[in-house]
Structure 1
């Protein structure tokens, strides 16, 4: 079983749209993959300090026990935190969870190894990497 966590703008499961800003995503969609099929999908509200809760987004995501995170980009500290925990981070290619899960299953996603220093990590981050 592989567990993917994807920051999204809404909690619409596989149809959820990815957030352009990793840490300020309102939801994290957790997709469990068994073999080459989606076994389960769950939307988890972002309750980090960005939304009045406690902890940083990477810490909240690590509590979800991911094998990988799929996102448009993230800061260098977040990437480092995931690397230390042995969690791969992949650059999203599409706007929806479903499209990115399909790309992951086909081995088409590029692994992010360096974070973006910009305050917004969507298109601006992709331009700078």
Structure 2
């Protein structure tokens, strides 16, 4: 995949949104965590993907209310994804360093999305 974020001619609004960039970084971290429990891994990955998709959707919406709704959904998905990683950590299905990395990125993306919702 090419890095569209560095394309100065990109007209896609999500490319310049820091929250989207952090959401993608979070998705990569969740995947790299390699959760051993298949159901938790699936839940974490679906939610982490949804963070990216809903953040991009919010960036592309026009009205303030539509933007806020999409960003709020993305925020909830981030919390769900990180909870799945944390639960996997509690039961020994992922290593503690992976949990710490995901929690740190989740805190960052949730903070960014919270500001975008307001």
Same-fold call, TM > 0.5? no
From the two aligned structures, give the one with the greater strand fraction: 1
